[in-house]
Amino acid sequence: MVNGWWRGSVTYQVYPRSFQDSNGDGIGDLNGITERLRHIASLGVDAVWLSPVFTSPMADMGYDVSDYTDIDPLFGTLADFDRLVAKAHEFGLKVIIDQVLSHSSDRHPFFVESRKGRDNPKSDWYVWADAQPDGSPPNNWASVFGGSAWEWDGHRKQYYLHNFLTSQPDFNFHNKEVQDWLLETMRFWLDRGVDGFRLDTVNFYFHDAKLRKNPPRRGEPQVNPYEMQLHRYSKTRPENLDFLARLRALTDEYGASTVGEVGDSTRAVEIMAEYTSGEEHLHQAYSFDMLGPEFTPKHFRSKIETFFKKAPDGWPTWAFSNHDVIRHMTRWQDHAADQDSLAKLACAMLLSFPGSVCLYQGEELGQTETDLEFSELTDPPGIRFWPDYKGRDGCRTPMVWEDAGSNTHGGFSTGTPWLPVKAPQLARNVAGQEADIGSVLHFYRHMLEFRSERADLHGRGMAHFFNRPDPVLMFQRGALICAFNLGPDTVETNLPPEGRGGHLVGPSQAAGLSGRSLTLGPNGFAFIQIVTR
């Protein structure tokens, strides 16, 4: 599988609740996604990733699964899913589905059984521990969503582990039966034709069996106390690698791919490298390192160089936005000459990085974060930590297909959407940008086509970075020099000696080249073809 389809691929993430509603209930569904596959295919991407559509109480919008082998009625049926996969394949799109293996819903039949007592067949399928003598939790592990990671169960008279909501109990991966069963649920979807899995919280599977206390993370108090610990024992345990090897063997049977979400705020790139090095574990991994506020050449360079230094044979996936973070157009707005220029710069830069790429729905429109009122929120951590953290609803509002005059909430639904579609988002709609050849949407298509045509952009070649003063990011991939101005003012810089006699190729923005002298206007960028002799 060394040269699998996933190497250098571009995946388009769909958040199903917010992509297209086909039945007027205000919630996006599988049939709606099928109706809009033509748009996704028209971009020139290779795959589509669906956030969870499994049966769920929706306490965490589908990341709390109560049936791993069925579709939630909100989204449709298994037959609807099969039609979506078939149609995607007709368009040449691979289909990747979200697998939430680290935890289930507390309404899953196995947890319902597990909490009944300590001697039933599922008693050890979740992580249970006795209270300390004073009744307090077994240790200091914290939940990502706030508070302790332990919840007391009065019937079983033990605590259970939940790294997220109390209604999301963690599976006990030290029990091989749990591993076996989860792998069989994945085989169920592989047999239905899926091409890969996005693995939620892939470094959370195993916990320290001795339940040792996490050490503190030095620094100032945080909005969420989860960030005040080094999570040495509650996640990223060495046993994880053996399970990832089992998972890899399963997916390789089908020629399918895995991309793992690494959740860690201190050494995510190092974990990405460890999990993808060689041919035994994950095919790809991504982290939140490029999903934050940092927008400097040093930041992007350091993440890429660190990864390939740690794992020269590993494979990263890079993204600037997804369903868990503020959209990058809003995060980086202070660096923008204007919205369209920043959107095009971000697109050109991301699609030039070595590795694979994931785009989030609406990104191809230059979509911005929706400003929501407290009364409009649905996201549990947003509600808990408001207003210092507003949660993830702002990046999850519906896709906008038409302008405000459509009277159908931007073409998303004839009903009332589960999250509102507001004026700033309505202004960036597909129909309007289709009609404008200079739009962000058309640029994404142009840049994706350029990437697909250049093996030095989507192949295995590493990026060689050049030292240039801020805000210029410059690197070489194959016979191509890629230069980006990450600031809102014009800059002058020089190409390295390798660029002597080079010329501009492909997409560019506010760029001029004279000899080795390169001018980059506000948020300007250029690709320079090296003249080989």
How far is C-alpha 178 from the geometric centre of its chain's CA atoms?
26
Q: Which CATH superfamily includes the segment(s) 10-102+176-448?
A: Glycosidases (3.20.20.80)
Fold classified for 103-170:
Oligo-1,6-glucosidase; domain 2 (3.90.400)
24's tokens? 């007027």
Give the pLDDT of residue 405. Answer: 75
What is the percent of the chain where pLDDT is above 90?
A: 95
- The string of pLDDT tens digits covering residues 73-127 is 999 999 999 999 999 999 999 999 999 999 999 999 999 999 999 999 999 999 9
Task: Based on the residue annotation, tell me whether 170 is a catalytic residue of this protein.
Answer: no
Residue with tokens 């007709």: 90
User: What is the rounded CA–CA span in Å between residue 98 and residue 24?
Assistant: 25
Q: Which of 64, 200, 274, 289 is catalytic?
A: 200
Residue 3: per-residue pLDDT: 61
284 residue type, one letter: Q
pLDDT in tens, 398-446: 999 998 776 789 999 999 999 999 999 999 999 999 999 999 999 999 9
Q: Distance of CA 265 to CAs 91, 102, 271, 279, Å?
A: 37, 19, 11, 26
Continuous H helices in 255-363? 268-276, 297-310, 328-331, 339-350
Q: Is the pLDDT of residue 185 over 50?
A: yes
Residue 2, pLDDT above cutoff 70: no
Of the pLDDT bands very low, low, confident and very high (cuts 50, 70, 90), residue 49 is very high
Hey, where are the domains in the chain?
10-102+176-448, 103-170, 463-529
State yes or no: is 200 an active-site residue: yes
pLDDT: which is higher, 500 or 488: 488
Listed residue (18, 46, 45, 21) closest to 31, CA to CA: 21
Give per-residue pLDDT as tens, 503-517: 999 999 999 999 999
In this prediction, residues 250-274 reach a mean pLDDT of 96
Average pLDDT over the chain reads 96
CATH architecture of 463-529: Sandwich (2.60)
Among residues 253, 279, 453, 492, the one annotated as catalytic is 253
Q: Which two tokens stand for residue 51?
A: 């956030």
Residue-level pLDDT at 1: 35
Q: Span 6-14, mean pLDDT? A: 97
Cis check for the bond before 387: say yes or no (omega within 30 of 0).
yes
